[in-house]
Amino acid sequence: MAGEPGELFELHLERPELDDLGNPVLVVALDGYIDAGGGVRLAVSALLESLEHTPVVTFDVDQLIDYRARRPALTFHDNAYTAYQAPTLQVHRLVDEGGTPFLLMSGPEPDVQWERFIRAVAQVVDRLNVRMTVGLLAIPMGVPHTRPTGMTQHSSRPGLLPPQEDRTGTIQVPGHLGGLLELRFGQDGRDAIGFAAHVPHYLARSEYPEVARTLIQATADACGLLLPTSSLDAASAELRTQLAEQIAENGEVADVVRALEEQYDAFASASGRGLLAESAPLPTADELGAQFEAFLADREPPTG
C-alpha cells in the first residue's frame, strides 16, 4: 500500500526562506515522455547554467522510478565500478535576471504512483505558495524550420492565457505526468498552463536549440519573468547555417522543406483548415532525420 504523499519528498527550506519566495511560479520540465529536438532538456540546462539556483525539494526516486526500464549509468574503470549516475528529481529555486525568484522541477518523469506524486506536488505547491505551474513539452510536427516555431498552449481554466483559436478539436494523446498534473490541478481549482513547442519532424532526433529558446521565452512572457536565451540564440544561429548548407547541397531535402513551407503558408493564410494541407507523401521523420544527422556529423570538427 502506498504511503502518504508527503513521504515522497524532502523540503530543504526553513520558514524565513519560504517567506522570501513570495508567490512564485513552478516550471515543470520532466524527462521521459517526449522531448523532440531535446527542447525541454536544453531549456532546463540553459536556465540552470545561466541563473543562480539552489535545490529546495528532493523527491524519493527509489519510490517513483523503474530502474529496469531506464537504467542509470554505472562507470566501469580499471576492472572496478567507480561511479554511479543516480537519477535526481528536484525542485530548484532560481532567480531571474530581474531578481524575481521562481521554481523549476526537473528530472525523470515518475514511472509509477502518478496520482500520489501529483498529490505530493500539490503539497509542495501549497508549502511554497506557488501561484501557477507551467508545463513544458517539445513535440514533433510537420513544419519547416524556416518558419517561426509554433506553439500549442493550454491551461486549466480560461483567462490564464490570451484567447486563441482551437485548431485541434478533440484528440487523445498518450498519458504523461505533466498533462495529468495540469488536469488534476485544474480539477482542484489550481492555476496551471502548458506550452508544447512544435519541432520540425525531421529534426526531432537532433538537438534543436531554437525550440528551447521558444519555450523559455513563452514562459517568461506568460509569467512576467526575465529569462536568458543568449546561449541558445548563438546555438540556433549556428544550426540554421548548417541546415542552409544541407538544403543547398541536397535536392531531396530542399524539395521536402519547400513542400512543408507551402503547407505552412497555406495553413497560416486559411481559416479552419488542418495543420497540414493535402500534399504528396513526404519522407518519414526517421528517413529525413537520418539525412540531416549524417550531414551534420560530417561537418563536426575532428576530435583528438
* Distances, alpha carbon 14 to alpha carbons 46, 127, 169, in Å: 28, 11, 46
* Distances, alpha carbon 92 to alpha carbons 29, 52, 63, 77, in Å: 11, 10, 20, 32
Residue 45 has pLDDT above 60, yes or no: yes
Residues 101, 20 contacting (CB under 8 angstroms)? yes
SS3 of 169-204: CCCCCCCCHHHHHHHHHHHCCCCEEEEEEEEEHHHC
Could you tell me the pLDDT band of residue 299, with boundaries at 50, 70 and 90? very low
pLDDT in tens, 101-118: 999 999 999 999 999 999
- Each domain of the chain, given as residue ranges in start order, spans 5-227, 236-298
Which grid cell is 49? 547554467
| pLDDT value at residue 300 | 53
pLDDT in tens, 236-250: 999 999 999 988 888
Residues 127, 57 contacting (CB under 8 angstroms)? no
Kindly report each contact of residues 286-289 with a partner whose C-beta sits within 8 Å and lies 24 or more positions away, as own/partner.
Answer: 286/205, 288/201, 288/202, 288/253, 288/256, 289/201, 289/202, 289/203, 289/204, 289/205, 289/206
Residue 274 has pLDDT above 70, yes or no: no
Half-sphere exposure of 91 (CA within 13 A, CB side): 27
| pLDDT value at residue 287 | 53
| pLDDT value at residue 94 | 96
pTM of the model: 0.86
Residues 60, 4 contacting (CB under 8 angstroms)? no
Across the chain, what does the average pLDDT equal? 88
Label the pairing between strands 90-95 and 151-155: unpaired
Q: How far is CA 49 from the centre of its chain?
A: 16
pLDDT in tens, 4-38: 999 999 999 776 577 788 899 999 999 989 999 99
Q: Which residues on neighbouring strands pair with residue 31, listed in sequence order?
A: 108
Q: At 159, is the secondary structure helix, strand, or coil? A: coil
| pLDDT value at residue 281 | 45
**Is 5-227 in CATH node 3.40.50.10900?**
yes
Residue 178 has pLDDT above 90, yes or no: yes
Residue 167 has pLDDT above 80, yes or no: no
| pLDDT value at residue 20 | 80
